A and B are shown apart, each in its own frame.
Chain A
Amino acid sequence: MTEEIVNASDILTKKLDGHLIDGEDTLLYDLGNLTAFDHSSLNKTEYKSNPNEYINKLSRDNVQLLISRLFQLPIKEIEEGSLALLPRCTTPIPRERSLPTSKPKTRWEAFAEIKGIKKKKKSSMEWDKEHEEYRPTFGYKKANDVANDWAMLARPDDKVGEDPFKKLEDEKNDRVSKQKKREQRNFDEASMRQMSNVGKTLSFDKEHRGQIKSDMEKVFDVAKLSTASLGKFDKRVENEKDAPKRGKKKLAGLGAGDVAQESENNSKLIDRMFKKENVLNVDKATRQFVKAEERENYSKKRSSGGKDNKSQKRFKK
Chain B
Amino acid sequence: MRPMTEEESKTFFEKLIKFIGKNVTLLIQRKDEPYCFRIQKNKVYYVSEELMKRSQNIPREGLCSLGTCFGRFTKTGKFKLNITCLDYLAQYAKYKVWVKPSSEMSWMYGNNLLKAGLGRITEDTPANQGVVLFSMNDVPIGFGVTSKSTHECRKLDPQALVVYHYGDVGEYLRDEDIM
Q: How far is the CA of A303 from the CA of B90 in the complex (A)?
A: 51
Interface string of B1-20 (1 = CB under 8 A from A): 11100100110011001000
Q: How far is the CA of A273 from the CA of B36 in the complex (A)?
A: 19
Output the least CB separation between B104 and chain A (Å): 28
Contact of A283 among B13, B14, B17, B126 (CB under 8 A): B126
Closest chain B CB from A123 CB (angstroms): 80
A259 and B36 within 8 A (CB): yes
A266-B9, A269-B9, A283-B151 are known contacts. Are A255 and B38 too (CB-CB below 8 A)?
yes
| A70 vs B38: C-alpha distance when bound (angstroms) | 83
Set of chain A residues within 8 Å of B29, measured between Cβ atoms: 263, 267
Residues of A within 8 A of B78 (CB): none
- A254 interface hit (Cβ, 8 Å): yes
Check if A253 is an interface residue, CB within 8 A of chain B: yes
Give per-residue flags for A228-268: 1 if the beta carbon is below 8 A from chain B beta carbons, else 0: 00000000000000000000000101111101101100110
- Residues B34 and A270 in contact, CB atoms below 8 Å apart: no
Map CB proximity to A onto B107-149 as digits: 1 under 8 Å, 0 otherwise. Answer: 0000000000000000010110000000000000000000001
Interface assignment of B56: CB less than 8 Å from any CB of chain A: yes
Evaluate contact between B17 and A270: CB separation under 8 angstroms.
Answer: yes
Q: B residues within 8 A CB of A254?
A: 1-2, 56
Given A263-B28, A263-B29, residue A283 in contact with residue B56 (CB < 8 A): no
Nearest CB on A from B152, distance (A): 8
The yes or no answer to B169 lying at the interface (CB within 8 A) is no
- 4 tightest A-B CB contacts, nearest first: A259-B34, A259-B49, A283-B149, A266-B28
List, sorted by A's number, 9 A–B pairs whose CB atoms are closer than 8 Å. Answer: A254-B1, A256-B56, A259-B49, A267-B28, A269-B9, A270-B24, A273-B14, A274-B22, A281-B124
